[in-house]
Amino acid sequence: MYVVDDDRDVRSSISFMLSTGDLRSRPFADGQDFFDSLNELDPGCILLDIRMPKMDGFQVMAELERRGVDWPIIVMTGHGEVPVAVRAMKQGAVDFIEKPFGEDLLLASLERAFQLLKGRGEKGEAKRIARERVALLTRREREVLEGLVKGNSNKMIARDLDISLRTVEMHRANMMDRLQVASLAEALTLAVQADLVGAEAAAGTSQTTSS
């Protein structure tokens, strides 16, 4: 649990509240302080103040997105700053709490954030495994898989690659073995998890045929 707030008293208060719930936190005085240590941090939830000098909460969120850091963020706003909270949620925050807040509210918000963190971690692991499997494919097997994800039949793939239907069937069978999958649906799922194709192509998977 990481607390990013320029107010020393707020950081101390939050640390005390978290300790009563057996949660450990690491405080940071501002966004730059947090980013200076980011490479050594394990994935965790971020409690982020919006109103900070130099680098405000919105800039911190934008930099996290640029770096591909998808950790749950709970933003802290001043009382009545609804437009600020809405903007933060649109930018990716999973929740917001208004200062001053009590222990129960903080712990309830963190519980939701930790559940999201667990889910994102599992999703990230699935993507890593999918990419490792797809990387084992030969160039032709990968082309066949790309064609299948686009919704093309074996005949259409053969035409597009200028190879015989039998050759496509051979590469398709080898591709399935190399991916360690038993069905086309599993192969397509791995392809999408590995970002083999964009969302536009992935949308065609529902029209995929097996012939």
Q: What pLDDT score was predicted for residue 206?
A: 39
Q: What pLDDT score was predicted for residue 197?
A: 61
What are the structural domain ranges in the chain? 2-121, 135-207
Q: What pLDDT score was predicted for residue 142?
A: 94
Q: What is the pLDDT along the chain (211 residues), one digit of tens a residue?
A: 899 999 999 999 999 888 887 888 899 999 999 999 999 999 899 999 999 988 999 999 999 999 888 899 999 988 778 888 888 988 889 888 888 888 888 988 898 888 888 887 777 777 778 889 999 999 999 999 999 988 899 999 999 999 999 999 999 999 999 999 888 888 888 888 788 764 334 434 334 334 4
Q: What pLDDT score was predicted for residue 200?
A: 37
Residue type for 167, please? Answer: T
Q: For the purposes of burial, counting CB atoms within 10 Å of the CB of 62, is it exposed (0-12), middle (13-18) or buried (19 or more)?
A: middle
* β-bridge mates for residue 27, sequence order: 3
Q: Beginning with the edge strand found earlier in the chain, give each strand of the sheet holding 26-28 in spatial order.
A: 26-28, 2-4, 46-49, 73-77, 95-98
Rounded Cα–Cα distance for residues 145 and 142 (Å): 5
Among 3.40.50.460, 1.10.8.60, 3.40.50.2300, 3.90.950.20, name the CATH number for the domain at 2-121.
3.40.50.2300
Distances (CA, A) of 72 to 6, 46, 75, 193: 20, 6, 10, 20
In terms of Cα–Cα distance, which of 75, 73, 74, 76 is closest to 99?
Answer: 76
At residue 119, φ and ψ (nearest 5 deg) are -65, -40
Q: What pLDDT score was predicted for residue 139?
A: 94
- Report, at the CATH architecture level, how domain 135-207 is classified: Orthogonal Bundle (1.10)
| Cis bond before residue 27 (omega within 30° of 0) | no
Q: What pLDDT score was predicted for residue 210?
A: 40
Q: What pLDDT score was predicted for residue 205?
A: 39
Rounded Cα–Cα distance for residues 194 and 188 (Å): 10
